[in-house]
Structure 1
Amino acid sequence: MDANMFDHPATQENITRLRSRGVFLAGPAPGRLASGLMGIGRLVEPADLLGYIAAALGKDGDFAGRKVVVSAGGTQEAIDPVRVITNHSSGRMGYAVAEAARDRGAEVVLVTAPTALPDPPLVRTIRVKSAQDMCDAVLAETPMSDALIMAAAVADYRPSVMAEQKIKKTAADEMSIDLEKTTDILATARGNFVRVGFSAESENLEANAADKVRRKELDLIVANDITEEGSGFGVDTNRVVLIDREMEVERLPLLTKYEVGHKILDRVSALLKS
């Protein structure tokens, strides 16, 4: 397909007819075409095509008609125009949860801090930077949602004041930056929806996670030990412990993050039915 062919009235008329018959369309994608022109008409990339297929197969799943808001990535808190306070989160866990929810029929909104990951197909993606940006986006999306799954690694503190210009190195051996607390998104986001938190810990995994469930009055928390091989940052697997509001503990084996996403959604689905 060459430039402007997709937008041609005849093409659009045929697409409308196909959609009215229940045909699920994937693409076409934008980019450089065979003619060298830029436009809409490229074949969808194989990884994205698999996402379209999974979504089509699962469109009538147990989350059909449900809206799920998922957060992902590590927020960035600006020190000056160049530097930020952030963490090692790759965003993979949150993206995997978003894709799993999509593949079970949900309308998915992914609120993501900066990552190197592409937007998942058929997922409405909202890109943010800071904890406050993420808080604003989540609070805007949750009032009409059925579940909030906070997989993002949100900064607990931010610089009290962002320097307007780049801070220069001086002869001093030390430097200090005053910090203030960020808004606790899960504690703030309240409503008639299931609230799921995450707890990445380096010690006392279950005790720390259970404490978060009580303090934030969560329906479920997903806890992992970041020091364990295959369960930390930047990998495609995770070994998690699920703790619900009744303090019942479920310890899962090492799974892919997509599989973990489905395990979480199994619990969310049960909570929505209860």
Structure 2
Amino acid sequence: MRSSLIHKKILITAGPTREYLDPVRYITNESSGKMGYALAETLHELGADVVLISGPVCLNSSFPEENITFVKTANEMYHACLKHFSSCDIAIFAAAVADYSPKLTSEEKIKKIDEACFLELKKNVDIAFEFGKVKTRFQQSVGFALETNDVLTNSKFKLEKKNFDLIVINSPTHNQGFGHDTNKVSILSKELYLDHFPLKSKKEVAVDIVQAIEEYSILNEATQKSLYNVIDYPKTV
């Protein structure tokens, strides 16, 4: 069956970011990028026009490298997304972007001198939030929530704050999330419909997410057509 996502322009972010203290040290997280790349591969196989913005990863992927923009920092990822967001139909924010970066950085390697070192951080741009503010009703936005407590409450807050249509929820537990080949997710829509899925390979999880996106996309297009047709034409006598 022909996918409704064929030829749709889809922007995906994947992997971690690195926030540098000096040329050789940085703050990062354990994101492998496997989930974002699995989504990119799945959507590419369906015939979608996928642009992948990737943080530093070490993966073997079937996704065409010419469609990947490699970045390192959160700021670089934001500016790479700026080039594509306005023209995309769907944006999937799967990257684990660092919330903070060092306030002061050194162009040379910081020497070990004192017994203690204090690090002051500044807040990074919230990429999904910024694009949520300018998203049109014709665009669809999908986010991820990695939560360790109050999972549903925190995920719902994130969905509303960042103007997501769907949010994929998971937890960093055994065989799930960062670094693993498997994941167990739930998908929450902005209408607060919640679907739970069992533990699966990330490739299988990507198929579930893409199916949810496709179903939501079809519903969204039908809604837009309905709104377009509700026009108060002048009555003829």
Q: Give the TM-score, by structure 1 length.
A: 0.75
Q: 2:35 aligns with which of 87, 93, 104?
A: 93
Distance 1:73 1:163 in 2: 25
- Indicate the residue corresponding to 2:169 in structure 1: 223
Match of 2:154 in 1: 208
**Partner amino acid for 1:87?**
N
Give CA deviations for 1:58-104 in whole Å, capped at 9, x if unaligned.
9x532111011111111000011110000000000000010111111
Q: How far apart, CA to CA, are the structure 1 residues paired with 2:144 and 2:63?
A: 24
Partner of 2:212: 267
Using the alignment, how far apart are the partners of 2:177 and 2:90 within structure 1? Answer: 25
Which amino acid in 2 is paired with 1:81? P
* Equivalent position of 1:167 in the other structure: 110
CA RMSD of aligned residues (A): 1.5
Q: Aligned to 2:99, which of 156, 174, 180?
A: 156
When structure 1 is superposed on structure 2, of 118-127 and 74-83 the one drifting more is 118-127
Q: Which runs of 5+ in 1 are unaligned?
A: 1-57
Following superposition of structure 1 onto structure 2, how do residues 169-184 of structure 1 map, counting pairs within 5 Å? 169-172=112-115, 174-184=116-126
1:83 to 1, 25, 50: 25
Q: Which fold has the larger relative contact order, with Cα–Cα distance below 8 Å and residues 6 or more apart in sequence?
A: 2
Q: Distance in 2 between matches of 1:119 and 1:253?
A: 24
Q: Distance in 2 between matches of 1:65 and 1:233?
A: 30
Q: What CA distance in whole angstroms lies between the structure 1 residues aligned with 2:109 and 2:180?
A: 33
What secondary structure is seen at the aligned counterpart in 1 of 2:195? Answer: strand
Shift of 1:153: 0.3
Sequence identity (%): 37
Question: CA, structure 1 residues 148+100, in 2 after alignment: closer, same or farther (shift >3 Å)?
Answer: same
Give the whole-Å Cα distance in 2 for the aligned partners of 1:120 and 1:141: 22
Q: Which of residues 66, 76, 79 is equivalent to 1:133?
A: 76
The aligned amino acid for 1:271 is Y
User: Aligned match of 1:247 in 165, 187, 192?
Assistant: 192
- Describe the superposition over 1:38-62 as per-residue Cα deviations: whole angstroms up to 9, x where unpaired: xxxxxxxxxxxxxxxxxxxx9x532
1:119 Cα deviation from its structure 2 partner: 4.9
Could you tell me which residue of structure 2 aligns to residue 197 of structure 1? 143
Cα pair 2:40 2:63 within 8 Å, conserved: no
**What is the CA-CA distance between 1:264 and the residue it aligns to?**
1.4
Between the aligned partners of 2:201 and 2:8, the Cα distance in structure 1 is: 24
Given that residues 23 and 108 in structure 2 are in contact (C-alpha distance below 8 angstroms), is that contact kept between their aligned partners in structure 1? yes
Q: Deviations over 1:137-189 (max 9, x none)?
A: 112111111111011000000011211211111132x2111111111111111
261-270 vs 83-92, which moves further: 261-270
Distance in 1 between residues matched to 2:128 and 2:216, nearest whole Å: 17
The runs of 5 or more residues in structure 2 that have no matched partner are: 221-237
Distance 2:61 2:17 in 1: 17
Cα distance in 1, alignment partners of residues 82 and 202 from structure 2: 26
Equivalent position amino acid for 2:114 in 1: A
After the TM superposition, list the runs of 4 or more consecutive aligned residues in structure 1 that deviate by more than 4 angstroms: none
Equivalent pair of 1:67/1:144 in contact (CA under 8 Å)? yes
Query: For residues 258 and 119 of structure 1, do their structure 2 counterparts lie closer, same or farther at Cα, with a shift above 3 Å needed?
Result: closer
Give the deviation of 1:269 after TM superposition: 1.5
Q: Could you say which structure has the larger radius of gyration?
A: 1
SS in 2 for 1:243: strand
